[in-house]
Amino acid sequence: MSAAPQRVLYIDDDEGLRRLVSRALSRRGYEVTLAASGDEGLARAREGEFDVIALDHYMPGLSGFDTLTALLERPGAPPIVYVTGSEETRIAVQALKAGAADYVVKVVGEGFFDLLDSAFAQALEQVRLRRQTAEAEEALRASNQRLQALLREVNHRVANSLQLVSAFVQLQAAALDDEAARAALRETQRRIEAIGQVHRRLYTSDDVQTVDMAAYLAALLHELEETGVGAAGVRRLRLSADPIRLNTDRAVSLGVIVNELITNACKYAYATDEDGEVRVFLARDGDQALRLTVEDDGRGLTAGLAAQGTGLGARVIAAMADSLGARLEYDAAHRGVRASLTAPL
């Protein structure tokens, strides 16, 4: 099945040239409509659909530039080829800046029709490429939306599964008589909650690939307060965080580190009857790094080391810091414990 002919509107006040253009372009397979002035050209453009328009510069009444401007103001305007004289390069450049797709210099003979044909072909190819690009961009946007919806669903399911695991651990802890075993399971439950909180942030956010660390840490500290932080002498958890976003893996690692450091402070920093505080700071360290600090004003690192039990928390912190490519340091001059971690963004 042959393709439909391309529809051309040719606007020129020269009647003889219009007839020649109509015959020449018709032989080349175009469907040609003629207009003798800018006003008539605008009327023809309103009445029919055209694939390309050729427009002469010099015309009585509405000038070529004014006609060009009016044509381009119409929604879905086709490409326009501007026709100028042989010594009018400046006019041609102005037409291109105004929005013309191309220009053709009037010459005597078949060469002019060949130039028109070539300019039409190039203008139509540009339209085709722009349309293909727009369609590809739209398809990409649709694909991204589907992927984001899928990622939200995955994160939702992961968060629900982790919540279920956390509930099982809590039930297991409640069934035990050994206080040390119950404490170990409660710590495991907090680690699971720290990871689950990341996935909850992802499926409730517009960004399904990165986590807002300020909001995440605020929710994490709130959960730790809700699980009985005050019983160990820590009455307050305070947070100061810059607006930093991290991908899922790095957010999980940082969240687990914060959980472990706060848990250690709750265990060892203060006596049960003290009015203690643990502070968490997250800030940019230059353009390429972040700095996390968790500090208390308690008994200090030496006392903490004597009561660390199995040392699992320290090993977890070390593993998470290694996954971040981070450096963890303790400030020996601080009154209590101040742990600072510097990691690349």
Provide the pLDDT for residue 2.
56
For the ranges 109-118, 193-202, 221-230, 270-279, which has the lowest average pLDDT?
A: 221-230
User: DSSP assignment, residue 63?
Assistant: -
Domains of the chain, earliest start first? 7-106 (3.40.50.2300), 209-345 (3.30.565.10)
C-alpha 78 chain-centroid distance: 33
Tell me the H-state helices in the chain.
15-27, 38-47, 64-72, 89-98, 110-174, 179-203, 213-226, 248-268, 301-305, 312-324
pTM, rounded to two decimals: 0.58
> What's the CA gap between 87 and 189, in Å, rounded?
83
Residue written as token pair 């009455």: 235
Is residue 258 within 8 Å of 294, Cβ to Cβ?
A: yes
What percentage of the chain has pLDDT greater than the value 70? 94
- pLDDT at 307 exceeding the cut of 50: no
The 10s digit of each residue's pLDDT in 40-79 is 999 999 998 999 999 999 888 898 999 999 999 988 899 9
- pLDDT at 327 exceeding the cut of 60: yes
Question: DSSP for 142-196?
Answer: HHHHHHHHHHHHHHHHHHHHHHHHHHHHHHHHHT---HHHHHHHHHHHHHHHHHH
1: confidence class by pLDDT, cuts 50, 70, 90: very low
Question: pLDDT: is 310 or 54 the higher one?
Answer: 54
230: confidence class by pLDDT, cuts 50, 70, 90: low
- Shortest CA distance to 29 belongs to which of 124, 135, 93? 124
- pLDDT at 237 exceeding the cut of 80: yes
Provide the pLDDT for residue 309.
53
